[in-house]
Amino acid sequence: MLKQIVVCVCNSVLVISIVVLIRTFTFDIRNDTISPCQQTEEHLKIDVETNPQKIDIFRQALRFKTISWSPGVYDTEELTKFRLFIEQTYPTVHKSPFVKYEVVANYSMLYTVEGSDKKLLPYLLTSHLDVVPVTEENWKFDPFAAKLYQGYIYGRGTLDVKCSVIGIMEALEHALKSGFKPKRSFFIAFGHDEEVTGYDGAYHIAQTLESRGVQLEYLLDEGLAIVKDFFKGLHPVAMIGVVEKGQAIVKLSVNGTAGHSAIPPPESVIGILSTAIRRIESNPQPDLFGTGAERAMFEHLAPKLPFLPRMVLSNLWLFRPVVSWVLSRQPQTNALIRTVNAVTKFNAGIKDNVLSDSAEAVIDYRIHPSQTLEQLFDFHLKIINDDRVKTTLKNYIAPSLISPYDDASFGYHTVKNSIREVFLDVLVVPGVTVGNTDTHHYKHLTKSIYRFTPSVLTPESTNMIHGDNEKISIWNYEKVVNFYHHVILNSDRDKMNFINKHVEL
């Protein structure tokens, strides 16, 4: 009997090993070869030496302090100045018979570019005008001086995300100057308060489009980027966000009785709330790796990796628990596989020797697309396990649906091929956007929503987004403009037959 068991186990191991090896060497996600655009006189990229004014325009845009502090609180004077600057800087766009321009909700901008073929659904390129606040003393240079130093431009908004605003406008201005007559209609939308929920800007743009009966072929907003040096032995990887995590802002509160600190109770309201927070932080939400688009991202990476990681990622049916454990060790990858939480506020106490009668904290949950709000709260309340701690939902944004990224997806492949034509030797994969963008305001206009910013990021530079010393290289900014130019030209067709020669900046 024992011998039979051993033989059975050995045979099972052998079969599994054969399956693993076969999948390792045969597993592949088709990644068509895209020829780079030819550098001819009819195909020129931006060159700082011959077009320094284009860099100057971008630097001027960075000097507008379009800061958003909180919902409804943003610098309206700077936003107005920035809007007027855009209007004056791109005369061809604003005088074109193909373009209708309007200001929405006082500070946001909406362009309608009319195409000749009304049977084709339009698309939308969107970005935002505002930026987050800065801590000036932590910066190497003035964050609003747009300092040019050693091939980089330093300034708030270089990465998030005035590079896209000006990049889109430069691309459209050049296309129209070159005689571009659009076949497919499209929209360009710039919200003015994305950094503080977007309900004053993008929400009203979306309502405007909906009131006109607009349905979109696809939408492209800011999001994931091209990452370099994140994966050992792998070329840079461009990640297109095909899904976005949700958000729940939750307030925890405990009420008690004020008193003198010389006669304290067994537990203070601060201690009770602190215990609840410790429990939340010590007990992560359930591991959901493999239930969403994060699995597709790693499977797209697998064929390009060295043998061992390729074997593991090609066989997630077997190695999923191992991969999940590895991903959970780093904050950046842990956010991909589960709902994560951050305690962002804690408020209690009025005096050193007075017992506080209340304590409050705020938790920001970023919700995995496979988890419902009910499931989140069930786990949350189970972990706290204390009726004295009251939970209140302050704000909720549902996770997005997964946008299509198969061979039939026009929008995904338009973005993908535009990336590879401009950035050349990159691997393009679907990904999960862990932060929130304005895209949730537009979700009723299309099922094909993509989140990608054409910035090249290293592990070090990711901290610059919303952080100190935000910067972009001149080389990268050139690529930003050329990427949007490719998107406009590649979208101007009725099917996915992409060409490789464009008149470019």
Summarize the annotated binding site for Zn(2+) as residue ranges. Answer: 128, 160, 195, 222, 466
Whether 78 is catalytic is no
The H or E element that residue 482 is part of is helix 474-491
- Token representation of residue 200: 């004053």
CB-based contact 105:204 (threshold 8 Å) = yes
Residues recorded for the chain: 505
**Opening angle at CA 473, ends 469 and 475, nearest 5:** 175
Q: Is 421 among the catalytic positions?
A: no
Catalytic residue among 75, 193, 194, 478: 194
Out of 78, 130, 170, 217, which one is annotated catalytic? 130
Pair 165, 129: CB distance under 8 Å: yes
CA dist 227 and 260 (Å) reads 55
Closest by CA position to 254, among listed 365, 387, 385: 387
| Long-range pairs of 99-107 with CB within 8 A, sequence gap ≥ 24 | 99/176, 104/201, 104/204, 104/205, 104/208, 105/192, 105/200, 105/201, 105/204, 105/205, 106/76, 107/76, 107/79, 107/80, 107/83, 107/192, 107/200, 107/201
> Cα separation of 438 and 460, whole Å?
26
Return the exposure string of 298-330: e unless at least 16 CB atoms fall within 10 Å of the residue's CB, then b: bbbbbbbbeeebbbbbbbbeeeeeebbeebbee
**Positive or negative: CA dihedral 204, 208, 211, 215:** negative
Neighbours of 196 (CB within 10 A): 19
Closest C-alpha to 161, from 205, 130, 204: 130
- d(CA 182, CA 114) in angstroms, rounded, equals 7
Percentages (nearest 5) of helix, strand, coil residues in the chain: 40, 25, 40
In whole angstroms, what is the distance from residue 236 CA to residue 152 CA?
20
**Residues labelled catalytic:** 130, 194
